[in-house]
Amino acid sequence: MTVQFSPAAGRDRFVGQAISRIDGPAKVTGLAKYAGEFAAPDLTYGVVVSSAVAKGRIARIDAASAEAVPGVVKVITHENRPATSQKPEDYQDAVAPPGAPFQALASDSIVFSGQPVALVVAEDFETARYAASLVRVEYETAAPLTDVAAQAGEAYDPPTKRNGIKPPPEPWGDAAGAFDASEIRVNGRYRMADEHHNPMEPHASTVVVEKDGTYTVYDKIQGVANTQAYLGGAFGLKPEQVRVLNPYLGGGFGSGLRPQYQLFLAMLAAKDLGRSVRVTLTRDQMWSFTYRSEAVQTVSLGADRSGKLQALKHDAVQGTSTYEDYQEVIVNWSGVLYECDNVALTYSLTKLDTPTPGDMRAPGAVTGVYAIETAMDELAYASGQDPVQLRLKNYSEGDQTEDKPFGSKELREAFRQGAEAFGWASRKPEPRSMRESKELVGWGMATGIWESMMMQSSARAVLGADGRLEVGNQTGDIGTGTYTILTQIAADTLGLPLDHVTTKLGDTHLAQAPVAGGSWTAASSGTAVMKACRDIAEQAFRLARGMENSPLANVDFERVVFTNGRIEVAGDPSKSVALTDVMKATGTEKLEATGEAAPDKDFEEKYNAYTHSAVFAEVKIDEELGVVRCTRVVSAIAAGKVLNPKTARSQILGGVVMGIGSALHEESMLDHRIGRFMNHNLGEYHVPVHADIPDIDVIFVDEEDKANPLGVKGLGEIGIVGVAAAISNAVFHATGKRIRHLPITIDKVLGEG
């Protein structure tokens, strides 16, 4: 199916083209403003004081010396904090898991290390920071429990399931029996470190008190509607009292899905003081909320001699906080990826004295696919199969977890093109068989998978008499390229040049749209924009046809094309009229329309939709010194239509880079004695730097999908999934040592594995 964006043009001028980012000039000149950069004449600065302990209560808090510093406006603690809603459910934002969300300064109780215990508000930033250092807090401490492996015995099935997160399917067949009876068995326990999102922009909120008593809030959030609703619940503010904006977001990766405590504190202070307040968290405070919590996983695979799966068991025990049951989909992917008659997938939680974990780029899939794809690699060696061939042998033609066919699945083609680009055919299968000078060379691969989703979204479009179009909705461009693709779609639908289209995002005054996450924005907002623009096209056409001596008289809508700012009869450019002339002749100031997009119920009843990837990685290892370098990655993606190859490629590159981090570098290290992440800075929490990242080859394979009229499936997450397994498998191929614990650092390469 070829999707056409212009109503009848039969060709796409911008969609599918490698258009440079529309927001590029603003970003390279420093003019793009982020949440903590908006000014207000009466702005005050809030600095958060963080708990030194993980569990217990505040015995005494003394803010007198802080309050005595000239320039300090107020120190807010649990002792003097203004009242907010008493109902826990009022704090549940749109993506909250079941439980009672954390409320800053609500009581003397301490439930995680780094918990905010005071907000110091001052006339300038330096005064607030200095005064914050003078707040004295005494604690009564209790022993925290933060070790997920040690607490695995306390695991439980979450009684309330998280909205939108599918629990594991009921087991089918007899996985235990079939495993025992299998000729080839592999069984492994897989671990990975806790990871923190660490977007480059620390979380920040600026609450501006307007003259009329309303609030304008600039919040680091992936969807402004979520912030507005949260403030409504917590502070009893009506939507018309709060306008939330976030035109640019300095990276989210999930950390900006939920309103975080700096927003609550900024609004608390602004409301209390009647003054504008900005609260920006420090980098170390970025370890005091949301993280990718470790899941301790076991995977057991039974197969016949040819490698055909007979049994598949995948279990995960994941850490959550004491106050919310965070859940993600970790084990289900195994049942979706491989055809097998005897499958048991199980998932449970265990309580830890940490902040509630949260969605981090491809939540659950990064974790679960690492385990299953490493186990599959182990099975490849155990059965003497090439890893790609083993996956083809067990290739699923439908989603067994729900007994539905796939809407589309071009993973086979991704394997083929990825393998070819990588040169996989020249791989020597035996571990330790490839070498280059002093280094062992390893080639590994893995599959990636992510769900393709669509969310209820709307978009508004307004065409002015000057022929310029404005489109937009509330969703955020979190670096994904949303401004650009929506502009492309709008321009193509109405046949306008790109510079005649302005896309606005991240403002609650715009049309309703959900948070940007889950890779659903292109499909959802893109469809809504296309529909709004198509509506305007129809309106404009009707006006044009009604014009005196209209060249379009007696022509149907289906027979016209919108191109170069004109409506013209297809195949007959001599019969055309400029949009601006239509507006002028009919005395029309503007044409407006709202487009609505929603999941296609018929499609969803019939099919399940996923994106897939085939990831091939090369590592070079100095075995004596345990140094692993990732030297090459090929990522072949099957994810429907690509709207913009340039920004799409960047999405995948970014995912691969974070995947390399997961595989080799990233680890938030807890001191379990005190329940505190100790390497809470970018010097000691290692995200990859330039030197760690080799050239990366991204391939998009053709895939036609019908879940939405655009044919897109989403790209934000799929790039990271499978990368850690591919690298881990390459490390095994290089060394013959199976390391089942990420990140693969020097100590593990030198150690017992």
**Which residues are part of the catalytic machinery?**
717
Using DSSP's 3-state secondary structure scheme, residue 341 falls into coil
Please, what is the minimum distance in Å from the beta carbon of residue 640 to other proteins? Answer: 20
Whole-angstrom CA distances from 148 to 159, 296, 690 are 19, 7, 32
**135 vs 336 by CB, closer to other proteins:** 135
647 token code pair: 């920004």
Instruction: Using CB under 8 A, pick the residue from 665, 713, 733, 740 that binds other proteins.
Output: 665
Does position 41 interact with other proteins (CB under 8 A)? The reply is no
Phi first, then psi, for residue 286 (nearest 5°) are -70, -5
Please, what is the minimum distance in Å from the beta carbon of residue 125 to other proteins? Answer: 6
**Of residues 304-363, which lie at the interface with other proteins (CB under 8 A)?**
none
**276 vs 400 by CB, closer to other proteins:** 276
What is the Cα–Cα distance from 179 to 185, expressed in whole angstroms?
7
Please, what is the minimum distance in Å from the beta carbon of residue 10 to other proteins? Answer: 29
Q: How many CB atoms lie within 10 A of CB 91?
A: 19
Of the ranges 100-108, 174-182, 560-568, 674-682, which one interacts with other proteins (CB under 8 A)? Answer: 674-682
432 token code pair: 């330790």
Q: Which residues pair with 439 in a beta bridge?
A: 436
Does position 626 interact with other proteins (CB under 8 A)? The reply is yes
Describe the crossing of helices 645-664 and 365-383 by its angle, rounded to 10 degrees: 70
Q: Cite the DSSP H helix spans in 168-260.
A: 175-181, 224-235
335 token code pair: 């049942």
Does position 692 interact with other proteins (CB under 8 A)? The reply is yes
Does position 646 interact with other proteins (CB under 8 A)? The reply is yes
Whole-angstrom CA distances from 60 to 54, 101, 136 are 16, 24, 8
**52 vs 462 by CB, closer to other proteins:** 52
Does position 578 interact with other proteins (CB under 8 A)? The reply is no
Instruction: Using CB under 8 A, pick the residue from 55, 393, 676, 733 that binds other proteins.
Output: 676
Instruction: Using CB under 8 A, pick the residue from 227, 508, 613, 647 that binds other proteins.
Output: 647
Please, what is the minimum distance in Å from the beta carbon of residue 70 to other proteins? Answer: 7
Of the candidates 54, 47, 203, the one whose C-alpha atom is nearest the C-alpha of residue 135 is 47
Does position 437 interact with other proteins (CB under 8 A)? The reply is yes
119 token code pair: 């907000």
> Contact 600/708 with Cβ under 8 angstroms?
yes
Whole-angstrom CA distances from 178 to 168, 303, 330, 637 are 20, 9, 23, 33
Burial tier of 146 (Cβ tally within 10 Å: 0-12, 13-18, 19+)? buried
Give me the residue label for tokens 């199980």: 346
44-50 vs 277-280, strand pairing mode = parallel
Please, what is the minimum distance in Å from the beta carbon of residue 183 to other proteins? Answer: 38
DSSP 103-134: -TTSSSEE-STT-EEEEEEESSHHHHHHHHTT
Instruction: Using CB under 8 A, pick the residue from 60, 238, 305, 438 that binds other proteins.
Output: 438
Residue 83 CB contacts under 8 Å (≥ 6 apart), including other chains: none
**Of residues 122-141, which lie at the interface with other proteins (CB under 8 A)?**
124-126, 129-130, 133
Please, what is the minimum distance in Å from the beta carbon of residue 531 to other proteins? Answer: 27
What is the Cα–Cα distance from 564 to 544, expressed in whole angstroms?
16
Does position 653 interact with other proteins (CB under 8 A)? The reply is yes
Examine residue 743 and say whether the peptide bond preceding it is cis (omega within 30 degrees of 0). yes
Instruction: Using CB under 8 A, pick the residue from 70, 153, 213, 587 that binds other proteins.
Output: 70
Does position 435 interact with other proteins (CB under 8 A)? The reply is no
**30 vs 153 by CB, closer to other proteins:** 30
Of the ranges 79-87, 95-103, 590-598, 646-654, which one interacts with other proteins (CB under 8 A)? Answer: 646-654
Q: Which residues pair with 187 in a beta bridge?
A: 300
Does position 518 interact with other proteins (CB under 8 A)? The reply is no
450's enclosing H/E stretch is strand 439-451
**301 vs 663 by CB, closer to other proteins:** 663
Question: Interface mask (CB under 8 A) for other proteins, residues 237-276, using x and -?
Answer: -----------xxxxxx-----------------------
Of the ranges 146-154, 324-332, 548-556, 687-695, which one interacts with other proteins (CB under 8 A)? Answer: 687-695
DSSP class of residue 464?
A: E
Instruction: Using CB under 8 A, pick the residue from 686, 706, 738, 741 that binds other proteins.
Output: 686
DSSP 649-700: HHHHHHHHHHHHHHHHT--BPEETTTTEES--STTTS----GGG---EEEEE
**Of residues 458-517, which lie at the interface with other proteins (CB under 8 A)?**
478-481
DSSP 241-291: GEEEE-S--S--TTTTSS--HHHHHHHHHHHHHTS-EEEE--TGGGGSS--
Please, what is the minimum distance in Å from the beta carbon of residue 482 to other proteins? Answer: 11
Please, what is the minimum distance in Å from the beta carbon of residue 663 to other proteins? Answer: 12
What is the Cα–Cα distance from 94 to 515, expressed in whole angstroms?
9
> Contact 349/317 with Cβ under 8 angstroms?
yes
**531 vs 632 by CB, closer to other proteins:** 632
355 token code pair: 């902040």
**Of residues 385-424, which lie at the interface with other proteins (CB under 8 A)?**
none
Question: Interface mask (CB under 8 A) for other proteins, residues 192-231, using x and -?
Answer: ------xxxxx-----------------------------
Does position 610 interact with other proteins (CB under 8 A)? The reply is no
Instruction: Using CB under 8 A, pick the residue from 257, 619, 696, 707 that binds other proteins.
Output: 696
Does position 37 interact with other proteins (CB under 8 A)? The reply is yes
**198 vs 342 by CB, closer to other proteins:** 198
**182 vs 735 by CB, closer to other proteins:** 735
Tally the C-alpha atoms within 13 A of residue 134's C-alpha that lie toward its C-beta.
18
Of the ranges 303-311, 350-358, 417-425, 620-628, which one interacts with other proteins (CB under 8 A)? Answer: 620-628
> Contact 293/322 with Cβ under 8 angstroms?
no
**Of residues 13-32, which lie at the interface with other proteins (CB under 8 A)?**
20-21, 23-32
Does position 66 interact with other proteins (CB under 8 A)? The reply is no
Of the ranges 169-177, 207-215, 309-317, 678-686, which one interacts with other proteins (CB under 8 A)? Answer: 678-686
Instruction: Using CB under 8 A, pick the residue from 693, 736, 738, 741 that binds other proteins.
Output: 693
**397 vs 747 by CB, closer to other proteins:** 747
What is the Cα–Cα distance from 721 to 654, expressed in whole angstroms?
11
Of the ranges 56-64, 560-568, 589-597, 664-672, which one interacts with other proteins (CB under 8 A)? Answer: 664-672
**436 vs 548 by CB, closer to other proteins:** 436
Does position 162 interact with other proteins (CB under 8 A)? The reply is no
What is the Cα–Cα distance from 635 to 258, expressed in whole angstroms?
30
**Of residues 42-61, which lie at the interface with other proteins (CB under 8 A)?**
50, 52-53
